Amino acid sequence: MAIVFAIMSDGLAAVPTLVKAWTHPETETGIPYSTGLFNALTGFAAIPVWVFSQFAFPVYLVGINSLLLISVYRKKIKF
Read off the pLDDT of residues 8-31 as tens digits, 9 standing for 90 and up.
999 999 999 999 999 999 899 999
Q: Does residue 27 belong to any structural domain of this protein?
A: yes
Arithmetic mean of pLDDT, 20-43 = 94
The structure's pTM equals: 0.88
Arithmetic mean of pLDDT, 70-76 = 89
Domain count, the chain: 1
Q: Does residue 32 belong to any structural domain of this protein?
A: yes
Q: Does residue 12 belong to any structural domain of this protein?
A: yes
pLDDT at 77: 78
What HEC string does the chain produce?
A: CHHHHHHHHHHHHHHHHHHHHHHCHHHCCCHHHHHHHHHHHHHHHHCCCCCHHHHHHHHHHHHHHHHHHHHHHCCCCCC
pLDDT at 74: 87
Q: Does residue 78 belong to any structural domain of this protein?
A: no
Q: Does residue 79 belong to any structural domain of this protein?
A: no
Q: In degrees rounded to 5, what are phi and psi of residue 37?
A: -65, -45
Domain residue limits at 18:
2-73
Count of beta carbons in the 10 Å neighbourhood of residue 64: 22
